[in-house]
Amino acid sequence: MTTQTPETDAPVPAPSPSPRALARQRRRDTAVRFWRQYRTHRAGLAGLAALGFFALLALTAPLTVGPDVQSVTDAPGRPLERPSAAFPFGTDRFGRGVLGLVVWGARVSLLVGLLAAVLSVAIGAVVGITAGHFRGWYATVMMRITDWFLVMPTLVLAIALATVMSRSLGTVVLAIGVTSWPTTARLVRAQTLAVESRPYIERATALGGGHWHIMSRHVLPNVMPLVLAQTTLMISSAILAEATLAFLGLGDPTTVSWGGLLQDAREAGAVSSGHWWYLVPPGIAIAVVALAFTLCGRAVESVLNPKLGVAR
């Protein structure tokens, strides 16, 4: 390695940067490097484009369709109209435009998916890191609880939770988040154990670092890639779970979501009576968003994998 020769030098920082400026520059460098590598994953880029499209749709929905689109009473069209110039995706059983409903429903689906995934991964990461760091009885208890949650069918548990609690978005988020963390916890614990066996952990201990120092400075940054990738993957399953709950009638009845639309369609007998336009748009939207998050998750995973990132 000839990293000493001037040609291969990283840009020499300005004469006297403060530690904070150094940290900022480092973070910028990391972000740039991340993006440069992410760019090489074509599927990841496609997923990102799809996500960007749906995010834009959801964020601009108040301007494009407005909350009135949900209103059953002033529905603009007749019930169950076929797709036409006025209603590109047709109308639902109340005469509302399906296009507008799908656009508006994106807000709920994405929000719930995001929040539930973050909640689930956060619980999983905390349990995983602490169980990996503190061995002994704490780890044993934590992992037995994890195992218990792992073998419980997630959906059944979520349905039970959603049934006993009040029917609102918060409930849905909580029901999904609290039931889906065990896989993350297992993964994070395994990674934590791997990190803890590295010599730099011993070096940090010998320097006088305590539990908090080791978990926050060494373990967390090293499990972060895994957590990030896990989050993106978890979002798609959270969106699916939300759709499932809504489809089963356990969602918030006052809001429109993609799962809720599908349930409406089923109740209206769209499956048997051939009203395909009622079913297809929300179904495709769910599939595309879930797929897009999965693609992004895979790309993020392969970019952040420490083995690929370091071994050069």
Partner 1 sequence: MKPSLLDVRNLEVTYPGGAAAVRGVSLALDAGQKLGIAGESGCGKSTLALALLRLLPPGTRVTGEVLLDGEDVLAMKWGRLRAVRWAGASIVFQGAMHSLNAVHRVGDQIAEPVLLHSGATPAAARKRTGELLEQVGLPAARAAAYPHELSGGQRQRVMIAMALACDPRLVIADEPTTALDVMVQAQILRLIEELVAEQELGLVMISHDLAVLADTCDRLAVMYAGRVVEEGPARDVYEDARHPYGRALSAAFPRIGDPAARFAPRGLPGDPPDPAGLPPGCTFHPRCPVALDTCGSQDQPLRDAGPGRRAACVRVEVPVGAGPGAGAGAGAWERPGTDAGQMPPSAVLTADGSTRAGRDDGSARVGADGSARAGADGSALPRTDGPAQAVADGSVCAAAGGSARAVPDAGAAVVSEYEDGAPAAVSESGGGTP
Partner 2 sequence: MTATPRAASAASPPAPAPLLSAQQLHVAFPGRHGAPPVRAVDGVDLDIRPGEIVALVGESGCGKTTLARSLLGLVPTSSGRVTFAGSPLDYAPRALKSYRRRAQLVLQDPSGSLNPRHTVYDAVAEGLRIHRYPGDERTAVAGALARAGLRPPERFFLRYPHQLSGGQRQRVVIAGALVLEPELVVADEPVASLDASVRGEILALLLRLRTELGLAALVVTHDLGLAWNIADRVAVMYLGRIVETGEVEQVLTAPRHPYTRALLSVLPEAPGEPVVLTGEPPDPSRVPSGCRFHARCQVLASGEAARAGVADACRTEELPVLGAGTGTQVACHWVRAKAARAGAG
Q: Is 6 exposed, middle or buried (0-12, 13-18, 19+ CB in 10 A)?
A: exposed
Interface residues for partner 1 in 5-44 (CB under 8 A)?
5, 7-8
Distances (CA, A) of 182 to 178, 188, 193, 287: 9, 10, 16, 24
Residues β-bridged to residue 18: none
- From partner 1, partner 2, none, which one binds at residue 83 (CB under 5 to 8 Å depending on kind)? none
Under rule CB under 8 A, residue 4 binds partner 1: yes
Partner whose footprint covers residue 25, from partner 1, partner 2, none (CB < 5 to 8 Å by kind): partner 2
Cβ–Cβ < 8 Å for 101, 234: no
Q: In whole angstroms, what is the distance from residue 129 CA to residue 212 CA?
A: 11
Distance CA 173, CA 169 (A): 6
**From the list partner 1, partner 2, none, which binds 5 (C-beta under 5 to 8 Å, kind-based)?**
partner 1
3-state secondary structure 239-301: HHHHHHHHHCCCCCCCCCCHHHHHHHHHHCCHHHHCCHHHHHHHHHHHHHHHHHHHHHHHHHH
Give the range of 2-10, 113-121, 151-159, 204-212 binding partner 1 by CB under 8 A.
2-10
Instruction: CB nearer to partner 2: give 151 or 310.
Output: 310
Residue 120 binding: pick among partner 2, partner 1, none (C-beta 5-8 Å cut-off by kind) = none
Measured distance CA(156)–CA(164) in Å, rounded: 12
Binding stretches for partner 2 (CB under 8 A): 1, 3-4, 9-10, 12-13, 15-16, 18-19, 22, 25-26, 29, 198-200, 202-210, 213, 217-218, 221-222, 306, 309-312
Name the residue nearer to partner 1 (CB basis): 3 or 166.
Answer: 3
Least distance (Å) between residue 299 CB and partner 2: 20
Minimal CA–CA distance to 95: which of 119, 69, 125, 75? 75
Calpha distance 45→227 (Å, rounded): 20
In angstroms, give the least distance from the CB of 2 to partner 1. 5
Beta-carbon contacts of 204 under 8 Å, excluding residues fewer than 6 positions away, are: 213, 214, 217, 218
Least spacing, CB of residue 47 vs partner 2, in Å = 25
The correct pick among 2, 16, 18, 73 for binding partner 1 (CB under 8 A) is: 2
**Residue 221 binds which of partner 1, partner 2, none (CB < 5-8 A, kind-dependent):** partner 2
Rule CB under 8 A: is residue 197 a binding residue for partner 1?
no
* Interface with partner 1, residue 311, by CB under 8 A: no
Q: How many CB atoms lie within 10 A of CB 93?
A: 17
Token pair recorded at residue 248? 């089963």
Pick the stretch among 1-9, 76-84, 174-182, 291-299 that binds partner 1 (CB under 8 A).
1-9
Q: By C-beta, is 10 or 63 nearer to partner 2? A: 10
Q: Interface residues with partner 1 (CB under 8 A)? A: 1-5, 7-8
